[in-house]
């Protein structure tokens, strides 16, 4: 086993919680179990006005987290920004969803990847609760990815290499450079975060990681996938919520509009409308996404 990170390196874990009492103990336990992989580790739990026991659970846990009750739900990006400010500009940031669990060696492996000064963000392999692979890697949203996903479905489009989801077996097995990935678990180097600036709080939830990793790339850094680093992630909450399904669709359009002209944005939005229309019989989430796309 490789040596732990050098003492000069400081890692701050940021967890943004919202009614996360059921999930937090498992994550905090996993951090406590593996904290010796890093010489200097701080843990921040930023609570977005939870109405359950998220704050009390975090305060009582032996991991010794610094718990910040924000007393408002400003969104995921706002919570990250609060934690980043408390961590200070010299810390590398490991951002984790409350429903994730660190596996052995993950923190060490991610830190080792950003020793390469070109690599500004390192993301681990995400696994479902049953140990199967979660396809967490993505391509930059485009008219081609949107229409491919709409017409043939995300799974088929991914296998064809045309959709937003990346399905490259070689990349998931060996790792490599990527465009962006799920924001459930990612490590940002101190250098990259200083160059990219704060997370955009206007997204509230969803598409904030797409925006942030684009700014990391624009600043001259490369995100990388570390296939040997593993994190378990429950995820998928938006499938069960009409509000979250609509919000995800709205923010996808907002992000695309920010980087493209009116005609391209209209074509992109039409792809979301067509795709959601084709899938309305599959559930309320698709119908909510259609309404959001029509309003977008």
Instruction: Please report which confidence band the pLDDT of residue 6 belongs to, taking 50, 70 and 90 as the band edges.
Output: very low
- Rounded average pLDDT over 290-296: 92
- Rounded average pLDDT over 104-130: 96
Return the exposure string of 122-139: e unless at least 16 CB atoms fall within 10 Å of the residue's CB, then b. bbbbbbeeeeeebbbbbb
> Among residues of the chain, what percentage have pLDDT more than 90?
91
CB contact at 8 A, 86 and 43: no
pLDDT tens-digit readout, 48-104: 999 999 999 999 999 999 999 999 999 999 999 999 999 999 999 999 999 999 999
Of 211, 252, 205, the closest CA to residue 97 belongs to 205
User: pLDDT value at position 241?
Assistant: 82
CB contact at 8 A, 41 and 114: no
Task: Please indicate, yes or no, whether the overall pTM of this predicted structure exceeds 0.85.
Answer: yes
Of 169, 163, 170, 168, the closest CA to residue 146 belongs to 163
CB contact at 8 A, 34 and 104: yes
Of 39, 42, 41, 43, the closest CA to residue 4 belongs to 39
User: pLDDT value at position 239?
Assistant: 57
pLDDT tens-digit readout, 205-253: 889 999 999 999 999 999 999 999 999 998 755 456 888 899 999 999 9
Q: d(Cα 271, Cα 152) in Å, to the nearest integer?
A: 11
pLDDT surpasses 50 at 256? yes
Q: With 0-12 CB in 10 A as exposed, 13-18 as middle and 19+ as buried, what is 222?
A: middle
**CA–centroid distance for 90 within its chain:** 21
Q: d(Cα 105, Cα 45) in Å, to the nearest integer?
A: 22
Average predicted confidence (pLDDT) for the chain: 94
Q: With 0-12 CB in 10 A as exposed, 13-18 as middle and 19+ as buried, what is 73?
A: middle
Q: Give bridge partners of residue 16 from the DSSP assignment.
A: 46
Q: d(Cα 10, Cα 121) in Å, to the nearest integer?
A: 15
Residues with Cβ within 8 Å of 234's Cβ and at least 6 positions away in sequence, in order, are 23, 99, 100, 128, 129
Length of the chain: 296
- Rounded average pLDDT over 111-121: 97
**Mean pLDDT lowest among 28-32, 205-209, 267-271:** 205-209
User: pLDDT value at position 3?
Assistant: 41
**CA–centroid distance for 278 within its chain:** 28
Q: Give bridge partners of residue 76 from the DSSP assignment.
A: none
| DSSP secondary structure letter of residue 19 | S
**Mean pLDDT lowest among 148-152, 193-197, 281-285:** 281-285
Q: In the block, which residue shows the tokens 């919202």? A: 18
């Amino acid at each position: 086993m490789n040596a732990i990170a050098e003492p000069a390196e400081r890692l701050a874990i940021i967890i943004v919680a919202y009614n996360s009492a059921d999930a937090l103990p498992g994550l905090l336990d996993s951090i406590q179990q593996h904290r010796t992989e890093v010489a200097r580790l701080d843990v921040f739990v930023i609570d977005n006005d939870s109405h359950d026991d998220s704050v009390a659970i975090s305060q009582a846990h032996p991991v010794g987290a610094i718990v910040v009750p924000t007393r408002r739900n400003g969104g995921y990006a706002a919570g990250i920004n609060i934690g980043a400010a408390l961590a200070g500009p010299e810390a590398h940031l490991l951002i984790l969803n409350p429903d994730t669990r660190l596996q052995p060696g993950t923190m060490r492996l991610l830190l080792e990847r950003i020793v390469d000064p070109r690599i500004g963000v390192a993301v681990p392999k995400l696994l479902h609760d049953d140990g199967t692979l979660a396809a967490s890697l993505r391509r930059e949203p485009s008219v081609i990815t949107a229409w491919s996903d709409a017409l043939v479905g995300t799974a088929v489009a991914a296998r064809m290499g045309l959709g937003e989801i990346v399905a490259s077996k070689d990349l998931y097995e060996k790792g490599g450079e990527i465009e962006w990935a799920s924001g459930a678990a990612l490590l940002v180097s101190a250098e990259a975060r200083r160059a990219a600036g704060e997370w955009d709080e206007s997204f509230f939830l969803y598409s904030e990681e797409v925006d942030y990793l684009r700014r990391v790339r624009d600043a001259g850094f490369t995100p990388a996938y570390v296939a040997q680093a593993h994190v378990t992630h429950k995820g998928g909450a938006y499938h069960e919520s009409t509000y979250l399904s609509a919000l995800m669709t709205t923010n996808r359009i907002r992000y695309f509009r920010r980087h493209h002209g009116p005609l391209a944005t209209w074509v992109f939005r039409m792809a979301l409308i067509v795709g959601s229309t084709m899938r309305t019989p599959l559930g309320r989430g698709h119908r909510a996404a259609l309404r959001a796309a029509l309003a977008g």
